[in-house]
Amino acid sequence: MDDHIAVVHPGEKRMSEHHATYRLGNAVITRIVETQFPLAFSTLYPAAVEDIDEAIARRILPVDFTAAQEIVLSVHSWLIEIDGLKILIDTGIGNHKSRPFSTLFHQLENPFLQRLAAAGATPDQIDYVLLTHLHTDHVGWNTRLVDGAWQPTFPRAKYVLPRTELEYFFTPAGEKRRMLFDDSILPVICTNQAVVMDADGGEILPGIAFHPAPGHSAGHMVISMRSGGREAMFSGDAMHSPLQVARPEWGSTYCLDPRTAMASRLALLEQAAESGALILPAHFPGASAGYVTREGEDYAWRYC
């Protein structure tokens, strides 16, 4: 662990099944896990199955690896506490959401808010919700069901969402995702809590900025934070597991435009390796956060 990323409470690795806490400059960043699930490699990276033998030869995968082997994905939010503000990056799947297209996301009942409270934040204390993109596993806790109606979970928060993501719901291709808009986006628009981030990105708070990183979805964005001369990057779904650091050309089955997603991923990896920024992805399991380094022509991932 680098000296500038001290786990809170020195000497005690403050990481549990649901929480992991990192300090960066003046900020404390805590992971709030909603759920975890395994997916077969062939399900997550169907186009990469033909590359398995080569990846084994290059020691990117273990010698006994098969396409059926499961990759664990975590679904979590990042809570940032900085300068008296409490900020959430992405809001997971949510409870009681009807998602007939996926049993992984349909009608869940997870104690996410209890875990958030255990990390020191109640819903009315959240000042900002920053959304990397508007997929079902990133917007769910924007709202919760109260007396049969979807209400903003965080009553004081400004919800910052990428404009291109918002507009996508109203394209023919986005039609099938409209239920997400209705139950997780529209309620925060109706309460005047939504703030739209233009596609070019920009600073939303001192030291905290959105950057375009499209491909996984139409308007996917990476969120950067600077504090105390250090940098963190909340990379959303630019990559789903550390395998894509070693093999950036592997696109996930969830990516809208694999070529554009790969270009965004390569740009992120180059920037991450050059800057030494702490990278906080949306779905990496384990410690969930780490660093990207150069390994000759390739990139490597190192967990905190």
Give the residues lining the site for Zn ion (CB under 5 A). 137, 237
Q: Which residue's CB is nearer to Zn ion, number 52 or number 108?
A: 108
CB of 235 to Zn ion, least distance (A): 11
Residue among 23 and 265 whose Cβ is closer to Zn ion: 265
Whichever of 44 and 194 has its CB closer to Zn ion, that residue is 44
Nearer to Zn ion, 236 or 290 (CB): 236
Please state the closest distance from residue 255 (CB atom) to Zn ion, in A.
Answer: 10
By C-beta, is 34 or 237 nearer to Zn ion? 237
What's the min distance (Å) between Cβ of 156 and Zn ion?
26
| Minimal distance, residue 271 CB to Zn ion, in Å | 21
* Cβ-based nearer residue to Zn ion, 28 or 104: 104
Concatenate the DSSP letters of all residues of the chain into one string.
--TTSPPSSTTS--B-SSEEEEEETTEEEEEEEEEEEEEEHHHH-GGGGGGHHHHHHTTSS-TT--TT-EEEEEEEEEEEEETTEEEEE---S-SS---TT-TTTTT----HHHHHHHTT--GGG--EEE-S---HHHHGGGEEEETTEEEESSTT-EEEEEHHHHHHTTSTTTGGGHHHIIIIIHHHHHTT-EEEEPTT-EEEETTEEEEE--SSSTT-EEEEEEETTEEEEEEETS-SSTHHHH-TT---TT-S-HHHHHHHHHHHHHHHHHHTPEEEESS--TT--EEEEEETTEEEEEE-
Find the shortest distance in angstroms from Cβ 122 to Zn ion: 25
Could you tell me the smallest distance in angstroms from the CB atom of residue 135 to Zn ion? 5
